[in-house]
A and B are shown apart, each in its own frame.
Chain A
């Protein structure tokens, strides 16, 4: 029983890490209706930039600040060069454009900073804490707490600041929002910038866990089922979806994997997500679109 609980809690905490990446998607999807596949390469780019600067002996906070500046610069460039010309295009075109964009970011980031695996030490001690009979990774707890703080900060930002309210107006009805003088372009840049910040945090935590390397971009594929389950438009959904995916993944790997011969975690979350979709076609917390004929 304690093994079950341990797997379950480990899964939940891993799920928080997925949520962290998924939040970046939700932000951009809400503001610009783009499913941003380049989020994974943004995570990689942030991680690589940070770790390269740390290797050169730059101070932790300064490195973070420079990385953040670079991420915001990328965000602004993406808005100018890619999003603005593609406005009013079908969703799938935008999706493919971000996929092309991810090639560009990954290519350039690796040209500039190399493709080898970098160790990243954030100074978090990773000794398991024992509660009763259950062992919990300390690093995972810190990651979960960070994600929690991030979510609360983002919720405050989007619910109570002027920018946040403008953003909700845009998500609701872009035309009406523009007609009352909300600047769509500026908001997009802000949101992509915030998403850059989120990918910096995700890049640091994921990088510290498994090394900063190309495989970081694959985190996107884990974040997708999280989004399907939680809905593309809800930050709460991203968190809940992440917890569900994380927990079910690690349980499935242990209990179902032994029946089917292993590595079920590559697809299990997707099948689970389809199951959720069949019951709730727009995810747990997603908005159902209204169709008129």
Chain B
């Protein structure tokens, strides 16, 4: 059994299910169209406080899932890589303002990816749980770096800096709708690329490494290159997500919003959603982002003013923790497995 336990995940779907996969693609397109139409009906609160963080968290989870769920390398450095993406994008926007925004985001991601490769170097020698602990080093060093040196934040006097205006080809994206569509487009594109990637040679190499790296190296799979590639791609995606988190969600670049708690949140998202599953990232991110908001509203409605807000916060924290433990116990392969069972039932009803 691998230390992070991805051995129960199925690698590939069978090829005789073409009809079903067409159905799946049609469904995905319909879902995307539906999401793109959301700004027509939703108000700014929903876009700003619910949908944008949910989409960005999904993207971050996707990044970590490529590394952890597919390549089997557990990491708690996600917050750090998000910070690298955010600060890199900020500095590129600041210093090379003539570059278009998409190129900018991608460059920020690539820089984060390269940092990820460096942080991934210990994985060539350290395995399993020790690797989790060693990626924490990256998290703490990066967090410290951005707080300590003013160059990264353009010598701003406050520790958080406001993000520059977002625009593509002259279209202003700073309205909630604009930021939402930017996020949605990025998430959609990265998801398609990620799906192609995990079904390619690279993805198969990753899964071989995940299932047993000693065996993989014995049959001639380039383990070291595969691991570093996984760190690169994963940090690239997480870096882009970090840039979006800073620019499209918070509107400020602040190292404190990329602390260890963020790394834990991302890891919770993929474990609750389902490791080694693309759709699991969205379900897990929804759980991590929506549940606290829901608890907040329910708590406010039930107790509203009857008990101290600090106590309410503690209560929510305890309840949230209990729910996490409960889901970990009840659904070993993540909520994605639950959805997948529902999907199979639905599809078989269609075929009949």
Contacts and interface: CB of A to CB of B under 8 A. Distances in A.
Contacts of A228: 130, 133-134
A81 B264 CA distance: 22
B87 to A, nearest CB: 17
A74 interface: no
B328 interface: yes
B43 interface: no
A4 B324 CA distance: 47
Given A92-B271, A274-B134, A103 B324 contact: yes
A103 B133 contact: no
Contact of B134 (A35, A102, A107, A273): A273
Interface in B99-146: 122, 125-130, 132-134, 136-137, 140-141, 143-144
B325 A82 contact: yes
B325 A100 contact: yes
A5 interface: no
A85 B327 CA distance: 11
A92 B4 contact: yes
B345 interface: no
Interface in A192-245: 221, 224-225, 227-228, 232
Contact of A281 (B125, B321, B323, B329): B125
Contacts of B134: 228, 270, 273-274, 277
B36 interface: no
A82 B328 CA distance: 10
Contacts of B323: 100
A108 B313 CA distance: 11
B214 interface: yes
Nearest to A292: B214
B126 A277 contact: yes
Tell which of A35, A89, A90, A291 has the most Cβ of chain B within 10 Å: A90
B148 A260 contact: yes
A137 interface: no
Chain B binding surface, main DSSP class: helix
Contact of A261 (B130, B148, B317, B318): B148
A96 B137 CA distance: 19
Contact of A282 (B6, B130, B140, B147): B130
Interface in A125-156: none
B interface residue count range (under 10 / 10 to 19 / 20 to 34 / 35 or more):
35 or more
A266 B140 contact: yes
A293 B214 contact: yes
B93 interface: no
A277 B140 contact: no
A161 interface: no
Given A107-B317, A273-B134, A96 B126 contact: no
A107 B126 contact: no
Contacts of B324: 96-97, 99-100, 103
B321 A277 contact: no
A282 B134 CA distance: 12
A93 B271 contact: yes
Contacts of B140: 266-267, 270
Contacts of B144: 263-264, 266-267
Interface in A94-112: 95-97, 99-104, 106-108, 110-111
Contacts of B133: 224-225, 227-228, 270, 273
A90 B4 contact: yes
A225 B135 CA distance: 11
Interface in A62-90: 81-82, 85-86, 89-90
Interface in B132-175: 132-134, 136-137, 140-141, 143-144, 147-149
Interface of A: 35, 81-82, 85-86, 89-93, 95-97, 99-104, 106-108, 110-111, 115, 221, 224-225, 227-228, 232, 260-264, 266-267, 270-271, 273-274, 277-278, 281-283, 291, 293
Interface of B: 1-6, 74, 122, 125-130, 132-134, 136-137, 140-141, 143-144, 147-149, 212, 214-215, 218, 260, 264, 267-268, 271, 310-311, 314-325, 328-329, 332
22 contacts: A81-B325, A82-B325, A92-B5, A92-B132, A93-B328, A96-B267, A97-B324, A99-B264, A103-B318, A107-B314, A107-B315, A107-B316, A111-B315, A225-B133, A228-B130, A228-B134, A270-B141, A273-B137, A274-B137, A278-B125, A281-B125, A281-B127
Closest 3 CB pairs of A and B: A90-B5, A103-B321, A107-B318
